[in-house]
Structure 1
Amino acid sequence: MVRFLHVADVHLGCNKYRQENANRTFDFFTAFDSALQTYAIEAQVDFVLIAGDLFEERLITPGILNQAEYVLDKVRSAGIPVLAIEGNHDNRPYGVKSNWLRYLCEKDYLYLLEPDETGTLHPWDSETAQGGYIDLPCGVRVIGSQWYGASAPRAIERLAEQIQALPPTAGATLLLFHHGLEGQIARYQGALRYTDLLPLRRAGVDYLALGHIHRYYTAENWIFNPGSVEANSIEENQQQNRRGVLLVTLSNGQPQAELKQDYWQRPICRYTLKLSPSDTVTQVESQLRQLVQQHRAEMAEAIVEIRLQGEVGFERRELSVRSLQGELQELSGAFIFRLGFAATPVAYQTYRDTTAEPPPRAQIEEQVFTDLLASVAAYRDRAAPLAKVLMQMKADLLQPHANIPALYEWLANLSLES
C-alpha cells in the first residue's frame, strides 16, 4: 500500500486584499507549512505531489523563497520526496532556461519533472537533476509535464504517445498536469473536455494529478484536483468541501483520495446587509455597527466582507465607505475588513399599486414631487411639505396673468432649510 499527498496552487507570495498591518503573504506560507506538517510529515506519506503554482509569481522576493525552502527542508528531513511541475503562475518564460523551481530542484528540495525541449520524457538523472519521470522506491511511477495553455489538447496526445513508449512498470502510473476540466467553475475559458484527457488514461495513467482550478473535484476515480491550499479570494471560501489537500492511498493500483482541510487556514466571514429605500445613511451606519457587534467573536482575526445590497434612497458618495471600513475593522478585530457597496440608489421611493384605480392627476403630480425630494438626503425629512410648495408654485405659474417677478421674489424669500 502506498500513500501520498497531492497539493496544488500553493501561491506563496500572494498578497490579495492588501491592507496596512495585514501581511496576507504569510497566510499562504502558514497554510502550506501546516498542511505538509499534518498530512505529509505526521502522516508519514511516501511522497508529495505539487501540481503547479507553488509560487504566485515568476519573480519572487528572498523572503518568499525562504518560505518555500523552510517547508520543503522539513519534508526533505523527514525523508519524503517532493515531486513538482510548473504552473501558469510560476512557469519560466519562453526561451528562459531557469526559474525558482529549477533552483529548488538543483538544491535537492524537490524533483522538477518535465519533458525536455523536444517534448521527450527521459528518466530522472540525479547528476543533471533533470528528467520527465521517476520510478520511486515504493513502486510508483510519477510523470511530469509543463504548462501548455491553449495547446494542451495537442500536448496531451504527445504525452500519451510518450507514456506508451516508456519501459513498463509494475506499479501505478501518476501524471502531474496543471490544467482545468470543463464544467467545474463558471466563466472559465480554455478548460479541457473529459474526452481531451482520455488518451492519458488509455496510455496507462492511473492517477491524473491536476492543479489550476482552485476547487476540489474528481472524475471517474482517476482525475483528481485538490483545489488551492489557502483561499486566494473571499469567493473561494463560499462553500464547504471546496478546496484543501488530498491524502491518497493506492491499493492494487486503485486510488482512494480523501480531501483534508483540518490544517491552519485564515478564516473568512461573509455577510450581506439588505437595505431599503427608507434607510438613511445614519441608519445604515448603525445597522453595520450592530452586525459587527453581533458577530464580533467569529470576525476576530478573520478576513471579513460585508456587502450592502438592495435599494437605497441616497447616493453612494454620501456613505463614507473608507472611514467606516476602518472603524468597523477596529471594532471587529478582523485581520482584513472589506465593505462592499452593491446597493442601487433609487430616484423614487413610493410604491404604487398598478392594480388599483389611479388617483387624481394632482395627487400623482404631488407624489412625483415628493419622491423627487425624498431621493435627496437633505430634503427627505421635509419632502411632503416641500412638495406642496412646488404644487402651489405650479398652480400660480399656470394662472393667465401670472406675476412671474413676484413668484421669483417669493421663491427667493422661501427658506428651504426650515
Structure 2
Amino acid sequence: MRFIHTSDIHLGKTYRTSAGEAERYEDFFRMLGSIVSDAICEQVDFVLIAGDLFHTGQILPRTFARTIETLQPLKDANIPCITVEGNHDWIHRRDSISWMEALSQMGYIHLLRPTRTDNGGYRFDQFDPETGMGGHIEINGLNIYGLGYIGAQAGVHVPRICEAVETKNNILLFHVGVWTFSPVEIGNMQPAESLPLADVFDYVALGHGHKPYVIETPDGRSYAFNPGSPERVNFGEEGYDKGYWLVTVADCKYATEFRRTAPRPMKSVSVSLDGAESVDQALNHLRDQLAEKLNGVGERPLIEMKVTGRVRFHPFELGRERLRSLVEELADPLHVEIKNHLSLVTGRGLEETERRNLEEIERDVLHELIGANSAWKGKEDELVSLATAIRDQVLKGDTEGEELFALLK
C-alpha cells in the first residue's frame, strides 16, 4: 500500500492589502492541486492531511468552491482524503458551521474527530460516510485514527489516546508539534511525551510546524513524521525544505520518501543604514545592498525587508512606500513587507546620544493617548501591546476578523 502524507495547506491565505492578492491566493490551491495530481499519478491508496487545510475557520464561499474544485479529481479517482482539524481550521464562535464538516458530509474528505468520554478519555468511533463523522477509519487492513489540534496540553493526553486503541497496524493523524523539532511556539509536546505513541502506532502523521522533521525512538526506529507545509506560508520559511511524504507500506514496515514541491520564492533581507547622514545617502546605500542581496531571488518573489541602524535623519522620512518602491524596482516582487527599525541619533556626544526607533516612538504615543483616559490607567502597557499586535496583523494583510477578535478576547 502507498499513501501521501501532507499538512498545513492553508487554503484561503493571501495578502489583502497587496496588488498580488489574487495570485497569492491561487498559490495554495495550485500547490494542493499538484499534490492531488501526484496522488492520482502514483495511484496511492489514500491521502492524509494532518490539519490546517484552511488558513482560517471562517472561509469565504469562493474558497469553499475552489477547494471542492481542487479535490474533485481525487474524489473521481476514488482516493480517500483523510483529514483532521488544525488550529487554523477551528471554528471559535458558538453554533458556527464547520466547512470541514461540510466537505466531509459531501464526500470530498473524511474528517476524523474522536469523542470524549465522561471520565476524560477518548473514543474513536468508526467513521460514518452518511454523517461524515468518526474518529477511526480502516482502509485495506490499516487502521487510521485522527486527532485534531488539542492545544498546549497535548502531551498530557497521550496516555489516554493510547489506551483507547485496541487494533494493530495503526496510523495516527495528529495536528501537534514536538519541541526541539517544531519551529512554532505553541501547541507542542515534549519528545518524551510523544514516545508512548510509538508503542501503539506504526506511523504518526504530524502537522502544525511548517518545517519537515522525523522523530525516532531511542533504538533508532522512525515513528513520527512531519512534512511541513508544501507552500511557504510565513516569512522565515525560505530556509525550510518544502514537500510531502510518499509512504510505502509492506510487511508492516513503512518506507518514506520526501517529495519536494516548488513553492513561490521567498526572501528575508536585512540592510544596515548605520551612519547615514541623509535620506538620499541612505537610499543610495540601500539600493547597492539590495541589488546584491536580491540577485537571483526568483520570479515574482515574496520579500520581507528590515532596515536597521543609527541615522542622522528622522526614520519617518524613509517611509514604507518609499522603501517598497525601491524593492519593487529591483526585484518585481509579488508582495513586500517592510520593517523599519531605524534609530534616530539626537545628539553628537556619547553622553548625549539617544536612540529612538519607530517602535519606541509609536509605543510612547499610544501610551500617552491611552493614559489620558482615566478609565484605563494602570493598563497602558497591556493595551499598547494589544494595539500594536492588531496593527501588525492588519499590515500583513492576511488576517480575518476572527483572528483579530481572538486577540481582543
TM > 0.5 between the two? yes
RMSD between aligned residues: 2.8
**Shift of the alpha carbon at 1:185?**
4.5
Say which of 138, 143, 146 aligns to 1:144: 146
Q: Distance in 1 between matches of 2:307 and 2:316?
A: 14
**Shift of the alpha carbon at 1:302?**
0.8
The aligned runs of 1:287-298 (5 Å cut-off) are 287-293=285-291, 295=294, 298=297
Give the corresponding residue for 1:211: 207
Q: Distance in 2 between matches of 1:97 and 1:131?
A: 19
- Identify if the C-alpha distance between structure 1 residues 245 and 293 changes in structure 2 by more than 3 Å, giving closer, same or farther: same
* TM-score of the pair, normalised by structure 1: 0.74
Give the corresponding residue for 1:382: none
Give the corresponding residue for 1:180: 177
Q: Tell me the alpha carbon deviations over residues 32-72 of structure 1, each in whole angstroms, 9 at most, x when there is no partner.
A: 2223323x122222211011111111111111112211221
**Shift of the alpha carbon at 1:84?**
0.5
Partner SS state of residue 89, structure 1: coil
Q: How many residues align?
A: 344
Give the corresponding residue for 2:392: none
- Identify if the C-alpha distance between structure 1 residues 149 and 223 changes in structure 2 by more than 3 Å, giving closer, same or farther: same
Q: Distance in 2 between matches of 1:116 and 1:95?
A: 19
Q: Distance in 1 between matches of 2:149 and 2:59?
A: 19
**Shift of the alpha carbon at 1:327?**
4.7
Q: Tell me the alpha carbon deviations over residues 339-393 of structure 1, each in whole angstroms, 9 at most, x when there is no partner.
A: 3323333345689xxxxxxxxxxxxxxxx99x99xx9xxxxxxxxxxxxxxxxxx
- Identify if the C-alpha distance between structure 1 residues 318 and 272 changes in structure 2 by more than 3 Å, giving closer, same or farther: same
Partner SS state of residue 342, structure 1: strand
Partner SS state of residue 74, structure 1: helix
Bigger-Rg structure (1/2) = 1
Partner SS state of residue 234, structure 1: coil
Q: Distance in 1 between matches of 2:59 and 2:126?
A: 30
The aligned runs of 1:366-377 (5 Å cut-off) are none
**Shift of the alpha carbon at 1:92?**
3.9
- Aligned residues: percent identity? 30
Give the corresponding residue for 2:234: 233
Give the corresponding residue for 2:320: 321
> 5+ unaligned residues in a row in structure 1: which ranges?
352-367, 376-418
Q: Distance in 1 between matches of 2:132 and 2:208?
A: 25
Q: Distance in 2 between matches of 1:62 and 1:211?
A: 25
Give the corresponding residue for 1:163: 165
Q: Distance in 1 between matches of 2:175 and 2:127?
A: 20
Matched, 1:198 2:195: yes
Any conservation in 2 of the 1:16–1:232 contact (CA below 8 Å)?
Answer: no
- Identify if the C-alpha distance between structure 1 residues 229 and 293 changes in structure 2 by more than 3 Å, giving closer, same or farther: same
Give the corresponding residue for 1:269: 267
Q: Distance in 2 between matches of 1:277 and 1:292?
A: 17
- Identify if the C-alpha distance between structure 1 residues 53 and 45 changes in structure 2 by more than 3 Å, giving closer, same or farther: same
Partner SS state of residue 114, structure 1: coil
Q: Tell me the alpha carbon deviations over residues 1-25 of structure 1, each in whole angstroms, 9 at most, x when there is no partner.
A: x221111111111124731343332
Q: Distance in 2 between matches of 1:240 and 1:189?
A: 19
The aligned runs of 1:339-378 (5 Å cut-off) are 339-347=338-346
**Shift of the alpha carbon at 1:208?**
0.7
Give the corresponding residue for 2:37: 37
The more displaced of 226-235 and 45-54 is 226-235
- Identify if the C-alpha distance between structure 1 residues 305 and 349 changes in structure 2 by more than 3 Å, giving closer, same or farther: farther
Give the corresponding residue for 2:252: 253
- Identify if the C-alpha distance between structure 1 residues 95 and 307 changes in structure 2 by more than 3 Å, giving closer, same or farther: closer
Q: Distance in 1 between matches of 2:7 and 2:80?
A: 16
**Shift of the alpha carbon at 1:248?**
1.7
Structure with the larger strand share: 2
**Shift of the alpha carbon at 1:115?**
1.6
2:214 counterpart letter in structure 1: T
- Identify if the C-alpha distance between structure 1 residues 96 and 145 changes in structure 2 by more than 3 Å, giving closer, same or farther: farther
